[in-house]
């Protein structure tokens, strides 16, 4: 596996290390393209990045960002979308122009068309410089749930399993209504030249061990990263606790 694993003591140290990786990337290339994951793992990273940037601002007007996925088919007033996270933690505090943040919309009357448009907008950016990935406790990457073929591309998915339960827990989606996602596929992620995988907390320990040290299998989507030529993994002590080859 062509990855380097960095284990840090605390979640806050992971946030700082990953935020600095992202800053380094933007300083090296003022028109960098960065892929972002939403969720509890990256919230702290994005807040840390915005804090550092505000204390020592540099030009980000040409940096382009894209989200790895978005929740769709949710009501207008649903406020737990990925773009809402990015808005709160990055777009607002760093003054990122909306045209520099590529995300599919959460509401549409043609989600298939939105998925295709999102894919072509990301493709038009060229090779991303860096994408930061979180991992679900079932090993999902983006919204590529267990069982997703490794050659999957950007598409509309219907959510299920742990991810669906988590999103429904807020009670903001009508119990009978379907819940979907538009996500980059495993193939899209694997085609990116540089990836960072981040996990924090004891609840991620088992899946991190399975993803990084277990068999490469579509049953654990993140295990595909063992085949990627350049993945850097950042873990806090707890998330690393089940690894045997530390």
Binding of ligand GLP by 39 (CB under 6 A): yes
Please identify, using beta-carbon distances, which residue of 31 and 80 lies nearer to ligand GLP. Answer: 80
> CB of 30: closest distance to ligand GLP in angstroms?
26
Answer for which of 35, 44, 142, 180 binds ligand GLP (CB under 6 A) is 142
Please identify, using beta-carbon distances, which residue of 60 and 71 lies nearer to ligand GLP. Answer: 71
What is each CA distance from 29 to 18, 22, 241, in whole angstroms? 17, 11, 35
> CB of 227: closest distance to ligand GLP in angstroms?
19
C-alpha 7/C-alpha 145 separation (Å) is 26
Binding of ligand GLP by 143 (CB under 6 A): yes
Answer for which of 35, 104, 128, 134 binds ligand GLP (CB under 6 A) is 134
Which range in 8-16, 36-44, 56-64, 172-180 contacts ligand GLP by CB under 6 A? 36-44
Q: Give the binding-site size for ligand GLP (rule: CB under 6 A).
A: 11
Please identify, using beta-carbon distances, which residue of 25 and 181 lies nearer to ligand GLP. Answer: 181
DSSP per-residue string spanning the chain: --EEEEEESSHHHHHHHHHHHHHHHHHH-TT-EEEE--SHHHHHHHHHHHHHHHHS----TT-EEEESEEEES--TT---SHHHHHIIIIIHHHT--GGGEE---S--S-HHHHHHHHHHHHHHT-S-SEEEE---TT--BTTB-TT--TT--SEEEE--HHHHHHHHHTS-S-TTS--EEEE--HHHHHTSS-EEEEE-SGGGHHHHHHHHHS---TTSGGGGGGG-S-EEEEEETTTTTT-S--
Which range in 26-34, 39-47, 119-127, 205-213 contacts ligand GLP by CB under 6 A? 39-47
Binding of ligand GLP by 72 (CB under 6 A): no
Contacting ligand GLP within 152-181 (CB under 6 A): 163
Answer for which of 18, 32, 68, 224 binds ligand GLP (CB under 6 A) is 68
Of 193, 203, 192, which is closest to residue 235 (Cα–Cα)? 203
Binding of ligand GLP by 61 (CB under 6 A): no
Answer for which of 41, 48, 106, 223 binds ligand GLP (CB under 6 A) is 41
The bridge status of strand 69-72 relative to strand 180-183 is antiparallel
Please identify, using beta-carbon distances, which residue of 162 and 213 lies nearer to ligand GLP. Answer: 162
> CB of 55: closest distance to ligand GLP in angstroms?
25
> CB of 159: closest distance to ligand GLP in angstroms?
9
- Binding positions for ligand GLP, rule: CB under 6 A: 37, 39-41, 68-69, 134, 136, 142-143, 163
């Amino acid at each position: 596996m062509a990855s380097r694993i960095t284990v840090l003591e605390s979640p806050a140290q992971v946030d700082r290390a990953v935020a600095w990786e992202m800053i380094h990337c933007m300083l090296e290339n003022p028109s960098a393209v960065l892929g972002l994951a939403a969720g509890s793992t990256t919230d702290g990273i994005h807040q840390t990045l915005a804090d550092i940037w505000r204390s020592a601002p540099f030009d980000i007007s040409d940096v382009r960002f894209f989200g790895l996925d978005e929740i769709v088919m949710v009501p207008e007033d649903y406020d737990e979308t990925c773009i809402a996270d990015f808005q709160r933690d990055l777009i607002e505090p760093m003054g990122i122009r909306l045209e520099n943040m590529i995300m599919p919309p959460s509401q549409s009357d043609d989600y298939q068309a939105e998925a295709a448009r999102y894919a072509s907008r990301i493709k038009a950016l060229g090779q991303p410089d860096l994408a930061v990935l979180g991992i679900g406790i079932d090993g999902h990457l983006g919204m590529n749930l267990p069982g997703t073929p490794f050659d999957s591309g950007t598409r509309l998915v219907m959510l299920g399993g742990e991810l669906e339960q988590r999103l429904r827990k807020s009670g903001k989606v009508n119990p009978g209504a379907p819940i979907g996602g538009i996500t980059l596929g495993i193939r899209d992620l694997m085609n990116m030249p540089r990836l960072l995988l981040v996990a924090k907390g004891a609840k991620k320990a088992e899946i991190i061990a399975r993803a990084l040290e277990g068999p490469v299998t579509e049953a654990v989507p993140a295990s595909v990263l063992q085949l990627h030529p350049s993945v850097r993994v950042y873990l806090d002590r707890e998330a690393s606790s089940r690894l045997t080859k530390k």
